[in-house]
Amino acid sequence: MSSILAASYLPDSQVITLKPEFDALADTDPVKRKGFEGPSQIGFFFHEWTHYLHNVSTIQGLSAFCNLIHLWGVFRFTMEDGVSKGSNILDNDLALNLRQKVEFMLHQRRPGRNELPTTASISNTKFIAAETHTRKIEGTEFDQAKIECRVILSLGGEEKTYNVQIGSHEILESVAHTLESRLVRKLGVVPADAPITPYLLVRGLASHVAPDIQEDVLLACTLASLQDSDPPGMLLEILEHVKGVIKKGECPLTFLIKKTNFVLEKAKSWIDETLAEIDDAFPLDEPMARAVKNTTGIMRKNFEGRLKNPFFEIDLVDKIAADPSHLDSMIKTYGACAIIQQRYGDSNVLDRDYMYDFQLTEQWDEWLSFGYRQMHAAFRFVALHISVEGVAPTGDLELGKNNKCPFYSACSYPLRKNTPDVCATRPWLSSKTNVNEICWYGNAIRTLANNSTD
């Protein structure tokens, strides 16, 4: 079982999903719960947790979260009678603002264009060209970048050339995979092979741009690029700088630490202002507001940690390798997202799956837990409607599995028990339920529908 099959992470919803094969938390009884067993499972979890960590400790993660909150805020103005009427009811300025937010989000989350066949591997490919290409977001001066690469694939005595893009998605996956592999090796196990796309593309890029670079230095380069709202716009430049530092006989890690510290110090005012702006968007004390403000609180603490040690992930690997129980203190120090533990069986069975929250602080309560799930549902509902063209009306959505409530297999609210078809195809109707029975999704819709800031 590979980490690709074992677990996954939803960045905007801050949720790790463990597949049935990875049954660490499958038993609801804490005494009987297996937990993470062996180096591979520890590595799988660390890989996905690393994605969460980069959501809440990097400028890329903060930019993406802030953009998502803004998108959620603009989307609210399309809501009438518990559904979205689409972007056609927005004025021109709001409609443009919404398209800008969608474009930024898709740029950050979508995989880059990749022509390589599945038979490609790091051993039978050679990167021969790489250039950073940028385009501006509509109506702004903000550049978005992709690294456009040319790659020769040697297979069966033949050589073919392909085009490959490296964006934020590929950089984030490269970091997580490298950290997972490093941890598993230190725990005494050979890491499983990973597909070149998306996990090893950055390694291939580095072999072309800076062929003498070591793994530790490449990892630091990718981590440094995450302290920018558009990592692919920085990565090629960082690799070129490091190549020059190595040629001079100087220490590349010292250079990268100084460079990243300078970037973080320079960005400190922007970070503080952005976090305050997010908090101010939620003036009321309600579940989703608590979840958002808990997230910004974690971010503040983690950015302070970055200023002391910009690449602290590398030290975390060493600490966990020395004592896997350090996972607990790691989570308490840097934060943790929710986990959905999938279990075998028919997904239509009530509570087939199990949702687990790491209770990290004394302030953790049921409202906060409810708020994180409400936030997950809200962003899921928004995502159903958006594209580069704008927002589609809810009435135009095709009734199918894409609409299914994200908690469908892990919920026992009255609506899920009594009318499962609604939860499977039109979960937004849950907002019409009795207030004493309203679920996470229903509360998310009610909050979206109330576009007042009073």
* Domain regions of the chain by residue span: 3-108+297-449, 111-247
Q: What is the mean pLDDT of the chain?
A: 93
pTM: predicted TM-score of the whole model, two decimal places:
0.94
Q: How far apart are CA 73 and CA 7, in angstroms?
A: 31
- At 152, phi and psi to the nearest 5? -95, 125
Please check the confidence at residue 115 and state whether its pLDDT lies above 50: yes
Q: Tell me which amino acid residue 256 is.
A: L
Which pLDDT tens digit goes with each residue over 123-138? 999 999 999 999 999 9
What DSSP designation does 193 have? P
Please check the confidence at residue 452 and state whether its pLDDT lies above 50: no
pLDDT at residue 363, rounded to an integer: 60
Which pLDDT tens digit goes with each residue over 154-173? 998 899 999 999 999 999 99
Q: Are 16 and 24 in contact (CB under 8 A)?
A: no
Alpha helices in 340-393 (DSSP H): 366-385
pLDDT at residue 253, rounded to an integer: 97
Please check the confidence at residue 346 and state whether its pLDDT lies above 70: yes
Interhelix angle for 168-186 vs 201-209, to 10°? Answer: 100
Given pLDDT bands bounded at 50, 70 and 90, which one contains residue 364? Answer: low
What DSSP designation does 114 have? B
The b/e string for 148-187 (b: 16+ C-beta within 10 A; e otherwise) is bbebebeeeeeeeeeebbbbbbbbbbbbbbbbbbbbbeeb
- Give the Cβ contact number of residue 129 at 10 Å: 12
DSSP conformation letters of 31-80: TT-----HHHHHHHHHHHHHHHHHHTTSHHHHHHHHHHHHHHHHHGGGEE
Adjacency order of strands within the sheet including 15-18: 7-10, 15-18, 338-341, 354-356
